[in-house]
Amino acid sequence: KQEVTQIPAALSVPEGENLVLNCSFTDSAIYNLQWFRQDPGKGLTSLLLIQSSQREQTSGRLNASLDKSSGRSTLYIAASQPGDSATYLCAVEENSGYSTLTFGKGTMLLVSP
Amino acid sequence: DTAVSQTPKYLVTQMGNDKSIKCEQNLGHDTMYWYKQDSKKFLKIMFSYNNKELIINETVPNRFSPKSPDKAHLNLHINSLELGDSAVYFCASSQGGRQFFGPGTRLTVL
């Protein structure tokens, strides 16, 4: 059974720092991996999706990498801002088509001014 | 122009009652989902529907019954509510991988 682990559970940094969030998964036979952002009391927003054949995806100050063989992904946030404060969730999809996502428990990020 | 919408946003009810949560997506997606996020913020899949047909049912008590009247709607009906059903329920839709989530419905069972 797929298990997704995210480290650290919480992270507090001053504004402007570059930071890395980690995600690991136990079964490397994944179809894709997604990073989401969840703001308090809100739904999830998809940030980046990496297909199993890809190594990384970039969107603005966000860069996500995937090492499928070792079961790891990282989300790199450059020049962090207070508006980046949220919970970041990693999720893997194991089959194509109708498969569902298995989520980690998230990393709660606080960026202070 | 909300992509995935849910109603109600908050639901407070007594144990033993029956309640429904509605979900609509205007993205034209074929697949819709219900997820449950518990008090520890852990998000788990409950159901998946594709073109109005049930695809996945992840060991959810049969008190929970999803209904999809058409491709754009997936409603969740819960019978005989229990304290442990208190959680935030998220609807989502997808086509081709990326999933889009609704804002969630916070259910509190007293």
| Amino acid B97: pLDDT | 76
Shortest Cα distance, chain A CAs vs residue B99, angstroms = 7
Shortest Cα distance, chain B CAs vs residue A48, angstroms = 9
E runs forming strands in A1-113 = 4-7, 10-14, 19-25, 32-38, 44-51, 56-59, 62-67, 72-77, 86-93, 101-103, 107-112
> Mean pLDDT across chain B, nearest whole number?
91
Contact between chains at A43 and B103 (C-beta distance less than 8 A): yes
Shortest Cα distance, chain A CAs vs residue B20, angstroms = 19
User: Could you tell me if B45 lies within 8 Å of chain A, comparing CB atoms?
Assistant: yes
Torsion sign, CA atoms A108, B1, B4, B9: positive
Per-residue tokens: B83: 């304290």
- CA distances B94 to B21, B80, B98, Å, are 19, 30, 6
Token pair 């998809």 is found at: A46
Contact predicate A47/A57, CB 8 Å: no
Is the predicted pLDDT of residue B1 greater than 70, yes or no? no
Chain A residue closest to B103 (CA)?
A: A43
| Amino acid A105: pLDDT | 94
Most confident range (mean pLDDT) of A78-82, B30-34, B35-39 is A78-82
Of B110 and A95, more confident: B110
| Amino acid A40: pLDDT | 86
Measured from the Cβ of residue A61, the count of other Cβ atoms closer than 10 Å reads 13
> Which string of DSSP letters, residue by residue, matches chain B?
--SEEEE-SEEEE-TT--EEEEEEE-S--SEEEEEEE-TT--EEEEEEEETTEEEEE-S--TTEEEEEEETTEEEEEE-S--GGG-EEEEEEEESSS-EEE---EEEEE-
| Amino acid B50: pLDDT | 84
* B48-97 tens-digit pLDDT: 888 878 877 777 888 999 999 998 999 999 999 999 999 999 999 987 77
Torsion sign, CA atoms B67, B43, A52, B92: positive
| Amino acid B60: pLDDT | 86
| Amino acid A98: pLDDT | 59
Contact between chains at A34 and B99 (C-beta distance less than 8 A): yes
* β-pairing verdict for A107-112 and A10-14: parallel
Percent of chain B at pLDDT > 90 equals 65
Of B14 and B1, more confident: B14
Residue numbers in B near A99 (CB within 8 A)? 56
One digit per residue, pLDDT tens: chain A, 113 residues?
Answer: 889 999 999 999 999 999 999 999 998 889 899 999 999 888 899 999 999 999 999 999 999 999 999 999 999 999 999 999 999 999 999 865 556 789 999 999 999 99
Nearest to B80 by CA among B67, B96, B61: B61
Strand partners, B101: B92
> Which distant-in-sequence residues (6+ apart) come within 8 Å of A97 by Cβ?
none
Token pair 């695809």 is found at: B55
Is the predicted pLDDT of residue B32 greater than 70, yes or no? yes
**Distance (Å, whole) CA A113 – CA A13:** 9
> Which string of DSSP letters, residue by residue, matches B60-91?
--TTEEEEEEETTEEEEEE-S--GGG-EEEEE
